[in-house]
Structure 1
Amino acid sequence: MLQVIGLTSAPRRGFPADVRDLTFEALPGHVTALLGAPGSGKTAALRLMLELDPGRGVTYFRGRPLHRIPHPAREVGVLLGDVPGHPARTARGQLRMLCAAAGVPASRADELLEAVGLAALRDQRVGTLSVGMDRLLALASALLGDPHTLLLDDPAEGLSLREESWLHGLLRAHAAQGGTVLYTTADPKEAAWAADHVVTIDGGRLVADQNADDFSRTRLRPRVAVRTPHAARLATVVAREARAARRSVEVVAEANSRLSVYGSTCAEIGDTAFRHGLPVHQLADEVADAGPARPVVSAGPGEGEAAPRPAAQASGPDPLPPIRRHAARGPLHPLRYELRRLFGVRTTTLVMAAVLAASVGLSVLLARSGHAQLPKMLAGWPSLLPLPPAAVGAGLIGALSFGDEFRYPALAAGRGTVPRRLGLLLAKLVVSAGVALVLAVVVVLASVEAVRLVYGADLIKVPSNSVFLGASWAGLTVGCAWAGLLAAGVFRVATAGVAAVLAVPVLVVPLVQQVLTGPGSHSVAGLPGRLRELVWPRWPYETDRWVAAVVRVVAHPVGTALSLSLSALVCAYLFTSLRSRVRW
């Protein structure tokens, strides 16, 4: 059962609240329609139920608010706005990524694509889908966790009549299995034939709470739709005969030579038109909206009786709890989610290809000049550039880790970004570090082969301090990837991640050098050795060499600057994470 008690949105300055004291229930085994004109507060009510917007009130999903449900995707399926995801991701890739987030098998994605009729479009990009196909993909996303409750915001938007009929059949089948379905609509006729219960709101307030039969009787009325080239004459004749027969008949003229006749039948209108020699092009029975219902009608205790207020609101000035934006939930399988997110689009591949091409080209040019040192030649790092292409590429890949594509409302906050969870952060750090290391190794190997192919093997000689150089190269690329990742996570913008990477050699390194070598400061010569002396145990020779290499990397000005930047970003990330858990 879905229980909504006293939902009231926080009003914006100078505007009334979008939702005001909204209370109703949606029963299991029933399809409930939340009916209202555009702007009546339907979507705002759903966002309050999902704790995406601040306000007051409470919503219980089988007796529990959403933030107390361990795995919300398995309890609540949500269709709210457009389908989430990168436009270049395939429909199948998007669902497989959300499968990792919801903790369900990846095979569930193919099952749902088949169920919603998108199996033939599984490899089509999300950005190329039509509006109707987009809604079907969003519906598949809502059904991933096999939830008990479905909250759907205008699910029939953009669907054809056949697809709309199929959709409502699916919703009825879900309710027949004991599930709860609540969907919004602005069409009273659709609500009458598709729902078992209709909740009408206007201006954010409850207007009517009725079952479908009572709603049809009080809100809808039959009419005869007529289309004729002599609409005005037929309207006059029908009205005159109705007055002569003392019958209550209302004739409403509409556009395109159409008439709507209330209180009559197709047979009577057809006979009248035949007697007067008036041609009729269309004659059909329809059901029309009789206008907004009067507050508050309930189908429970009796016709026209005010709906009872739940006991939770019976007394007290304001007993309802505030609705807060609780900490967003992360994926249940963060490492799997991050891998599918990273390689689900071609951005990562394109960045790595561009970095490889630039690095190899610069290596060949530096080898031709003959003045560059071997490490900088193989890294493709001329003195004019603050960082080598591999480091910039690793930072860009890290910065793109926090993208605007994790928007599944039952799992993430309404800000449309990846939630700040420790498990997800560790997964991102591991994956970005792995990609950075692969990129670093590939760049060096490709540069070696390119230089050997162009100039021969004489220029390639293994230096004696290769361990130190390898550790430095790996530390630089991984550090840049983590700097970009953490900065983008703090500021929620990928550009901030790239700026943080470039700030290390441009701003932080000169500052560190000035502090360490400036006038009046003591010499830091021999710092790596003194750091190494602080380590109590003595490891085997090879391990000792690697530890010494790492210590020398950290003691280098660039290593020190990168370490300071990462430390500051980690502190900022933790600070913003803790702050986001206590604010609305």
Structure 2
Amino acid sequence: MLQAIGITSAPRRGLPAAVDNLTFEARPGRVTALLGAPGSGKTTALRLMLELDPGRGVAYFRGRPLHRIPHPAREVGVLLGDVPGHPARTARGQLRMLAAAAGVPAARADEVLELVGLTGLGDRRIGTLSLGMDRRLALASALLGGPHTLVLDDPTEGLDPREGRWLHGLLRAHANRGAAVLYTTADPREAARAADRVVSIEGGRLVADQAADDFSRTRLRPRVAVRSPHAARLAAAVSREARAARRSVEVVSEDGGHLAVYGSSCAEIGDIAFRNGLPVHRLADEVGDAGSRARGGDEGPQGLAAPRVLERVAGAAGGAGPHAVRPAARPRAPGLPTARRDLVRGPLHPLRYELRRLLGVRTTALIAGTVLVASVVLSVLLARTGHVPLPKVLAAWPSLLPLPPAAVGAGLLGALSYGDEFRYPALVAVRGAVPRRLGLLLAKLAVTAGAAAALALAAMLLSGEAVGLVYGHEWMRFPSNAAFLGVSWVAMTIGCAWAGLLAAGVFRVATAGVAAVLAVPVLVVPLVRQLLMAPGSRPASGLPAGLRELMWPRWPQETDRWTAAVLGVVAHPVGVALTLSLSALALAYLLTGLQWRARWRSQKVAGSGRPS
């Protein structure tokens, strides 16, 4: 069961709350429609229940608020907006990545694809799906964890009637298995047709909470739709004859010469028009919504201005049509916890999730291919001169470039590592940033380090083979410290990848990650060189021997050579620059995370209206 108690949004300065003291429930085994015009607060109410926006009140999912549920994806399936996913990712790849985030088996992706009718389209890219397929994939994402409760925001928006009927049939089947289904809509006829219970809101307040049959009887009334060039004269004639016959008839004027007549029939309206010599261009029976008129509001169920009631003629028995039921005001729920966005869970299997994120799009292969081709071409051109040292040739690093292609490519892969979370949210099916989870960060650091090391080694090996094929292998004489040079080369590539990753995490945009990578050789390295060459600076050549004297037990003298090599790598201007940059970015990542949490806590206090 889903219970919303006293849901109230944090009002903006000078504006009323979008949702005010909203209380209702969605029972298991039933489909509940949250009905309201655009701007009535439906989406805000869902976001408050899902703890995505600050405010007062609480929503219980089978007796527990969302932040008390260990695995929310297995309890609540959410659909807010479009399907969240990179347009280049396949439908199956997207679901398998979400399965790793939700902690469910990867085979569940094929099961939900079959459930929503996308079995043969699992290899289609998300960006090529039609609106109906996109909505089916979004519903598959919501059903991935086998949730007990489904919360959907206007799931049939933009769909044709056939797709809408299919979606409502799927929601009905899910409810018949004992689940609770809550969805929003602005169409009262759809709510009456597809839901078991209809909760009507207006201006963020509860207007009615009714069974579907009661809702149809009180909100939906049969009417006659009329279009005539003399609509005003026809309305006056209908009202005059209804008054003479002491019959209850309501005539409503709409734009474009349209009339809506309640309490009459097409035959009667046609006879009245004939007797008065008035032409009629349209005459049809239909079902209309009288909710906004009954409530006296200014906005109809479709967000249009409410039609003007010309006259309501009551007979001897008296009374107009039935009005929507307005329940008594419910007491507020003070002291309930404010919604907290920072409690959205991270992936349950972060490493598996990150691998599928990295390998699920063609961007990774495109970057790697471009880097390898550029490295081979630059290495062949550098070896042709015969004056470039072999390490520079194998690294494809001419003096004109700030970084070799492998380092730039690794930095770009790191900068794109947060794209799915910030641009195409993957851990929750809603728009918003993913919180700074340590497990997710460590997984990203590990995966980007592995990708960067593989890219660096592949570039070096391919460059060496290409140079050997073109110029022969006899001139390739490796220096005695080749192992240390290789380690430093891989370490520099990994450092660039991490710099791009942390910068993208701090500024939430991939461009900042690329800029941080390029800033290391362009800005930081010259500053480090100036500091190292400044008067009074001393070399660290005696540090290994000094460390050996202090250590107990004593390490062998051969270790001095390894220690000196490691210190040489770290003390190199590029190594120092990368170390400083990574330290600064890691500190900024930590501070922005703390600031983000503090901001939400302050909004929590402001929304609750009481001190923390």
TM-score > 0.5 by shorter chain: yes
Q: Which whole-Å CA distance do the structure 1 matches of 2:69 and 2:426 have between them?
A: 10
Query: What is the CA distance between 1:517 and its match in structure 2?
Result: 2.7
Q: Does 1:460 align with 2:476?
A: yes
- More displaced stretch, 542-551 vs 322-331: 542-551
Percent identical among aligned pairs is 76
Query: What is the CA distance between 1:209 and its match in structure 2?
Result: 1.7
Residue of structure 1 in register with 2:523 after alignment: 507
Query: What is the CA distance between 1:418 and its match in structure 2?
Result: 3.5
Residue of structure 1 in register with 2:78 after alignment: 78
Q: Which whole-Å CA distance do the structure 1 matches of 2:48 and 2:527 have between them?
A: 49
Residue of structure 1 in register with 2:319 after alignment: none
Query: What is the CA distance between 1:240 and its match in structure 2?
Result: 6.8
Query: What is the CA distance between 1:207 and its match in structure 2?
Result: 1.6
Query: What is the CA distance between 1:118 and its match in structure 2?
Result: 2.1
C-alpha distance after superposition, 1:69-104 (max 9, x if no partner): 110000111000111111111112111111111111
Residue of structure 2 in register with 1:176 after alignment: 176
Q: Which whole-Å CA distance do the structure 2 matches of 1:409 and 1:22 have between them?
A: 28
How many residues are matched? Answer: 574
Q: Which whole-Å CA distance do the structure 2 matches of 1:129 and 1:500 have between them?
A: 35
Residue of structure 2 in register with 1:299 after alignment: none
Query: What is the CA distance between 1:238 and its match in structure 2?
Result: 6.2
Residue of structure 1 in register with 2:433 after alignment: 417
Superposed, 1:2-401 pairs within 5 Å as: 2-225=2-225, 242=242, 245-250=245-250, 260-265=260-265, 285-292=285-292, 294=295, 304=325, 306-307=327-328, 309=330, 313=333, 318-401=334-417
Q: Which whole-Å CA distance do the structure 1 matches of 2:339 and 2:149 have between them?
A: 20
SS in 2 for 1:247: coil
Query: What is the CA distance between 1:546 and its match in structure 2?
Result: 6.1
SS in 2 for 1:63: coil
Residue of structure 2 in register with 1:300 after alignment: none
Q: Which whole-Å CA distance do the structure 1 matches of 2:138 and 2:277 have between them?
A: 53
C-alpha distance after superposition, 1:348-378 (max 9, x if no partner): 1111111111111111111111111100011
Q: Which whole-Å CA distance do the structure 2 matches of 1:399 and 1:462 have between them?
A: 33
Q: Are residues 167 and 537 of structure 1, via their aligned partners in 2, closer, same or farther at CA, if it must alter by over 3 Å?
A: farther
Q: Which whole-Å CA distance do the structure 1 matches of 2:4 and 2:424 have between them?
A: 21
Q: Are residues 288 and 217 of structure 1, via their aligned partners in 2, closer, same or farther at CA, if it must alter by over 3 Å?
A: same
- More displaced stretch, 369-378 vs 209-218: 209-218
Q: Are residues 583 and 148 of structure 1, via their aligned partners in 2, closer, same or farther at CA, if it must alter by over 3 Å?
A: same
**RMSD over equivalenced CA pairs, Å:** 3.3
Q: Are residues 120 and 535 of structure 1, via their aligned partners in 2, closer, same or farther at CA, if it must alter by over 3 Å?
A: farther
C-alpha distance after superposition, 1:321-358 (max 9, x if no partner): 33232243111111111111111111111111111111
On the 8 A contact 1:85/1:406 being kept in 2, the answer is no
Query: What is the CA distance between 1:206 and its match in structure 2?
Result: 1.4
**Equivalent of 2:455, from 408, 421, 439?**
439
C-alpha distance after superposition, 1:229-269 (max 9, x if no partner): 99899878866765564433445566788664421345656
Q: Does 1:472 align with 2:513?
A: no
- More displaced stretch, 233-242 vs 344-353: 233-242
- More displaced stretch, 560-569 vs 60-69: 560-569
C-alpha distance after superposition, 1:203-244 (max 9, x if no partner): 111122222222222212112346799989987886676556
On the 8 A contact 2:89/2:361 being kept in 1, the answer is yes
Query: What is the CA distance between 1:304 and its match in structure 2?
Result: 4.8
Instruction: List alignment gaps of at least 5 residues for structure 1.
Output: 297-302
Q: Which whole-Å CA distance do the structure 2 matches of 1:341 and 1:163 have between them?
A: 30
Q: Are residues 104 and 534 of structure 1, via their aligned partners in 2, closer, same or farther at CA, if it must alter by over 3 Å?
A: farther
Instruction: List alignment gaps of at least 5 residues for structure 2.
Output: 298-323, 601-612
SS in 2 for 1:58: strand
Query: What is the CA distance between 1:544 and its match in structure 2?
Result: 8.4
Q: Which whole-Å CA distance do the structure 2 matches of 1:120 and 1:569 have between them?
A: 44
Residue of structure 2 in register with 1:569 after alignment: 585
Name the TM-score, length of structure 2 as normaliser: 0.85
Q: Which whole-Å CA distance do the structure 2 matches of 1:201 and 1:13 have between them?
A: 23
Q: Which whole-Å CA distance do the structure 1 matches of 2:29 and 2:108 have between them?
A: 24
Q: Which whole-Å CA distance do the structure 1 matches of 2:250 and 2:329 have between them?
A: 37
Q: Are residues 411 and 391 of structure 1, via their aligned partners in 2, closer, same or farther at CA, if it must alter by over 3 Å?
A: closer
SS in 2 for 1:400: helix
Query: What is the CA distance between 1:25 and its match in structure 2?
Result: 1.6
Residue of structure 1 in register with 2:507 after alignment: 491
